[in-house]
Structure 1
Amino acid sequence: MSCSSSHDSTNLSKEIIDKINAHPCYSEGAHQHYARIHLAVAPACNIQCNYCNRKYDCSNESRPGVTSAKLSVEDAVKKVLYVGSDISQLSVVGIAGPGDALANPKKTFETFRLLQEKTPDLKLCLSTNGLRIADYIDEIVKYNIDHVTVTINTIDESGEIGSKIYPWVHYNHKKVWGKEGARLLLQKQLEGIKMLTDRGILVKANSVLIQDINGKDLPNVAKKLKELNVFIHNIMPLLSSPEFGTKFGLDGVPTTTDQEVMEAQKACGVDMKLMSHCRQCRADAVGLIGEDRGDEFLKDSFIDMSFEELEVSYDLEGRKQKHKTIENWRKHLELANNRIKLEKASKKELSSNGKTKLVAVTTAGEGMINMHFGSAQEFLIYEAGNKAIKFVMHRKIESSYSGADYGVDYDPIEEIKNSLKDCDILLTEKIGECPMSDLNEIGLICDENYANEPIEKSVFDSVQKHFYQKTKEIG
């Protein structure tokens, strides 16, 4: 059996492994060990998306387009130095809005220029809708931006699907409306993606799943992305609560369910390597994927510090040593996990009888089951059989069980039960008797016996213990 390691090394060249090894978005194995920071230096956007509403000072919302404040170029670079001095596992800095990075080219590339000078150890990324990649491909190459995320939601050449997602596109100093605008955007996206991959730049494609609009087209998107040598495809759920103020939210278009995302992943994963650990981060996100420490690094903390002070505290050599320690830990973790994870696998590859189980895990990172159930605001979901396992997705909840605000209309355990209703086992560091009893009611086995153990091996072993060994005993 050919299993992928936590370094995602299956069938990849050494050059690509080196590029993604410490990148938490491009490597699922890295996302519990390395942190990222997004810089909100790009407020303007050149398209209108019905699922987007750029908001400022919305600390309670975790989704793209939202930020607490815009930053100047110098302040953004100061923030990176300040955060990097505290979060030594920081490995990536990206510009992802709150608008579009390439609709704000002067600020975007001046920020990257300064980052190259001040923080040479960090990987540089940008996110874009793809409309202006071709116009700035030389600058992307010049500043060694070797990871680019492009949001592409349809490849319908008629513009019919795109016009339902994008009312207009702004290009060459004019707005292009409806189907014509959607066709223009698609043309520029495909042209730009090819330019990037032809130059060896790794491309992650984001697609927002809007079930009744582009759900059937996403497998076609995946096929086209493979043709264009895109590295990884990220299928994201539509976030559409009315309070977000988006067109879709106000029109009552429903938020995409976890189960709908899983079905789309299954259909698209036939052709493309999928990203399953995305958290749809804010434009000012800080920390590990799955956490946001942005409130700890507000502008007042670093604005009066000089670049000289910040560069000393950044401690480039100390950070390099920390990353060596992380890599050593990952090697030991890989050995402990027995290399039992497959990246792309059918049920038959995971299980000798073609039947698998879903396992939910609470974790604070580092590849371990090290979070109390009451503190969890998300669950990692794995699919497991008696041969191997694979990571499927993460599932967020509105609030942790113990930290929830128990209002009249809100019961946290009901949300958790709904989120985990198709799961068979919950692995957690600790869980109280009351929530355990509630979860047992939906047939969910809660197991604390793997506390502070490696996730992947524990997922595999727990399924053997609770299901396959029982089957043998009965037989």
Structure 2
Amino acid sequence: MKSMDTVNSPCFNPDTRGALSKIHLPVAGISFAKTKYEVSQPKGKVVMPEYAFNLLENFIKSSSLPKMVSISGPGDPMADPVKTIKTLSLVRESHSDIPLCITTLGFNIEDWIDELKKMDLSHVTIFMEAATAATAEKVYAWIRPGRKNLSITKGAELLVAAQESAVRKLKEAGIKVKVNTILYPETFEEIEAIAEKAAEYGADIMSIIPWKAEDEEADCGTERLNKATELAEKFIELVPAPQGCENDLDFSSEKAAMPTPSASRPNVAVVSYGGMELDLHLGHATKVMIYGKREDGLPCLKEVREAPKPGGGEKRWEDMASILDDCFVLLAAAAGEKPREILDRSGLAVMTFQSEVEGAVDVLFGGGKKGKCKK
């Protein structure tokens, strides 16, 4: 089990929060809840586990090991636990010494505790904004731990129960727990109870994060923050709010998170109506073009393969993965979540965007405008 290093960790010590000290991998796109204080805005880019891992590897090759790798958004890691565990596994298998952590509301922890324990996490951060369901009901606009819509009253009850269970289960598994609490007006009234419950459940440490309102007069304010700190630190050790440790790599473009060829997967697969543009949905593909490098290093069309016929459910995509087992990426104009998931598990990344085929292929092989194969 990784010990909780509060001196050198960018999560706990502001003096260590230098450039890229902590890297966030944005593979979580689903949320469990939304507070009534959150401003609606588009979520950040979400990528598949292999994409995130590939960009992390590229950074490590050109720089050094980060002080920590985190999955904390743009949604909740435990709302899509398969992708979260996959990402953690990829990092852990290649880098046993990199501290790993996740940030979550607490739902699904109990169901996945065995898998989380295998990841040898540095810690798990739980966001606790309420000690009681009544207060959670005031803070949150909606809470949905599963696929069904729930009343805010029922959702609040489930959230409070899930957070207690999460902290206790994590501690039983030997995983350190940090509690983050944003100091909303309702939260301030219950901050002492939140700290007391966090300590009772077994949490190791806590941060109180001042709420920044659009109207500065509505901010929690220094006086209120100091009072909340005074009340909470009677029950649990406090560390500075984690402001400034979110040093993401550049996931703003597909190119930033591109997979790269390997000895066993040297080729690029492409589906296209006419072979010139990425203009075909993967589900409609009947043929797949295979691009690879010539002896002089330039990428060219090597062959065209028959795609598995539509129908057959998941088996179609399993067959597609087998047919393309020498390809490291599949390019299409669009693709469904299920084929992405199945192909991704097989080691074949799926990238979707609109572009000229030759240009996209050339970029994947490390080129730009130069170096295109002359036919």
Q: TM > 0.5 between the two?
A: yes
Name the structure 2 match of 1:181: 155
CA contact (8 A) 1:150 1:205 kept: yes
Equivalent residue letter for 2:196: K
Is 1:232 the counterpart of 2:205? The answer is yes
Quick one: which amino acid aligns to residue 213 of structure 2?
A: S
3-state SS, counterpart of residue 67 of structure 2: strand
Of 235, 240, 244, 1:271 maps to 235
Is 1:220 matched with 2:193?
A: yes
- Give the Cα–Cα distance (whole angstroms) in 1 for the partners of residues 217 and 254 of structure 2: 36
Residues 23-73 of structure 1, C-alpha deviation per residue, up to 9 Å, x if partnerless? 2113456445981001111111122222335644xxxxxxxxx53x22111
Q: Residue 183 of structure 1: CA displacement? A: 1.4
Shift of 1:124: 1.1
The alignment partner of 1:149 has SS state of strand
Aligned: 1:139 with 2:115 = yes
Matches within 5 A, 1:353-432: none
Hey, what does 1:41 align to over in structure 2?
Answer: 27
Query: Could you tell me how far apart the structure 2 residues matched to 1:185 and 1:280 are?
Result: 28
| Contact 1:150/1:203 (8 A) holds in 2 | yes
2:16 equivalent to 1:16? no
- Residues 214 and 280 of structure 1: CA distance in aligned 2, closer, same or farther (over 3 Å): farther
**Which of 53, 77, 88 is matched with 1:77 structurally?**
53
Rounded to whole Å, the distance in 2 between the matches of 1:88 and 1:270 is 39
**1:241 corresponds to which letter in structure 2?**
E
Question: 1:122 & 1:82 partners in 2: Cα distance?
Answer: 15
- The residue matched to 1:97 in structure 2 has which SS? coil
* Letter of the structure 2 residue corresponding to residue 119 of structure 1: H
Structure 2 equivalent of residue 119 of structure 1: 95
State the Cα distance separating 1:225 from its structure 2 match.
1.3
Cα separation, partners in 2 of 1:53 and 1:133, compared to 1, 3 Å: farther
Give the counterpart letter for 1:231 in structure 2. D
Deviations 1:207-249 (A, max 9, x none): 11012x121201111111112221111111223328xxxxxxx
Distance change >3 Å, CA 99–CA 106, structure 1 → 2: same
The corresponding residue for 2:70 is 94
1:160 paired with 2:134, answer yes
5+ long unaligned stretches in structure 2: 264-375
Question: Any unmatched runs of 5+ in structure 1?
Answer: 1-13, 57-65, 243-251, 287-293, 309-475
Counterpart among 27, 34, 38 of residue 52 in structure 1:
38
Aligned-CA RMSD value: 2.8
Is the contact made by 1:235 and 1:265 (CA closer than 8 Å) also made in structure 2?
Answer: yes
- Verify the 8 A CA contact 1:47 1:168 in the aligned structure 2: yes
C-alpha contact (below 8 Å) 1:91/1:121 kept by paired residues: no
Report the residue type matching 1:38 in the other structure: H
Give the TM-score taking structure 2 as reference length: 0.63
Q: Contact 2:68/2:101 (CA < 8 Å) preserved in 1? A: yes
Q: 1:301 to 1:214 in 2, by over 3 A?
A: closer
Contact 1:101 1:126 in 2 (8 A): yes
Amino acid at match of 1:141: K
1:303 to 258, 271, 275: 258
Q: Once the 2 structures are TM-superposed, how far is the Cα of residue 115 of structure 1 from its aligned partner?
A: 0.9
The structural deviation recorded for 1:102 is 0.3
Question: Which position in structure 2 is the counterpart of 1:207?
Answer: 181
Q: Distance in 2 between matches of 1:77 and 1:296?
A: 12
Query: Could you tell me the percent identity over the aligned residues?
Result: 24
| Bigger Cα Rg | 2
Cα distance between partner residues in 2 of 1:253 and 1:185:
30
The one of 231, 245, 256 aligned to 2:220: 256
Give the Cα–Cα distance (whole angstroms) in 1 for the partners of residues 160 and 117 of structure 2.
Answer: 22
Work out which of the residue numbers 144, 164, 170 in structure 1 matches 2:144. 170
Give the TM-score normalised by the residue count of structure 1: 0.50
- 1:15 and 1:138 map into 2 onto residues whose CA distance is 16
CA distance in 1, matches of 2:201, 2:117: 18
Structure 1 position 276, deviation (Å): 0.9
Contact 2:113/2:173 (8 A) holds in 1: no
**Counterpart-to-counterpart distance in 2, 1:120 and 1:175:** 40
Instruction: Output the CA distance in 2 between the equivalents of 1:124 and 1:40.
Output: 14
